Structure 1
Amino acid sequence: MGRRALIIGIEEYGSVSDNSIAAKLPGTLRSAMDFRDWLIGKWDAENVLASERQIIFCSEPAIEGGEHATAEDLTQALLQLKAAGQNSTEEFFFYFSGHGFSFVEPDARSDVIIASNYKAMQLSGGACMRLDKAIYWLRQHLGFGRQFYFVDACRNDLDGRKINPGGVIPRAIRRRPEKRRPTCCSLPLQRQPLPSTEGLPPPFSTVSRAKALPKPGTTPKTTP
């Protein structure tokens, strides 16, 4: 069972065009690096083997040995975690320091974190990660080990009239079911002649029934 972590520190949002968030967040990268150093020290003290560790570090600006923190980079990081630790992760740490908000719906509220390629509210819903969906996705793929989440971000209320978060989390590929051809053919229904009632007792026999009925214009005889 492995120990894994996804650490994200975004200090620069260089693509912001609508002034909806600050372009710089001093100190966020440093805090992410401090968390990484603490985690390495923790695993060292627990004698966790190097082969059982995985730390993915995403930041803006990127550091040596790390990755950038665009929506695509974060999606790739999630897929790397899945590939290496599916159903085999004893301990997982998630750390984020950067911009975020609270997405408010009529009957729900969810925390959202913002990737480094965010530009504007009306353009960048795909640069946002809904934290509740990320937790569910990671739980489903990494298994039922211990998971810890640390989020240092704003939680100002926003709703669907301003932004529609929906990117970053990998989607499952759904294949359309193949149309099956019938394995047998159906024959047209053939009308069969009705069976003869001759020889059957009244009232089933048409012959006997005809004899029992009075002729037209006559009065049936009655037995006293």
Structure 2
Amino acid sequence: MPLPAPLDRTEAVVFDAYGTLLDVHSAVQRHAAAIGPEAQRLSETWRQKQLEYSWVLSLCGRYEPFWTLTERALDHALARHPGVDRALRAGLLDAYRALDAYPEVPGTLETLRREGLKTAILSNGDPAMLDAAVRAAGLEGHLDAVLSVDPAGLFKTSPRAYALAPERLGVARERTVFVSSNRWDIAGAAAYGFAPVWVNRTDLPDEYPDLAPVRVIRALDGLLA
């Protein structure tokens, strides 16, 4: 059976990791009972600040490992939600190193590889962080490469970050599908020249109309439909 567009025109599928393959809110969910009613808001603040710190550093032309930003973002979130016991900090960080993969992820990756497509991660996460996450989620055998933006010294949406995937995989950007649940990441991938697919799990409104995805799906297995 032929692959659906845009997979019928591609040689590689590159995935964002955090929020796309891995559920960034699963760390807090594991400790939700101990955190109490502020669990969801704590998780949202943690994620938003983690991303904000990466954008600000990139705009300043600076770089620090994503794990450092993850720790700082959690400290900010705990300060913003003083009702949460700070003794949970270590456990939350441990949980973030081993986030849950979304349930459809292993099967989707395996199907793509069986169809002859290269599969890779391109993530803001630093190498040690990604290595731990991929091992914990059991995804090692489903990927041809796990790429951190670390060698570029800038976070996505810098073109230097996206350029790491074609260089490593040996596949032209025009023949690469990039998949992310982050609309800003989709915009960056479109500007770079990838064919971006947006995983819109929560029916968010669209943004960046001039940097549109080629497809919008609700979950990763929508790639194959």
What's the TM-score once normalised by structure 2's chain length? 0.33
Q: Which has the higher contact order (CA 8 A, sep 6+)?
A: 2
The structure with the largest alpha-carbon Rg is 1
More helix by share: 2
More strand by share: 1
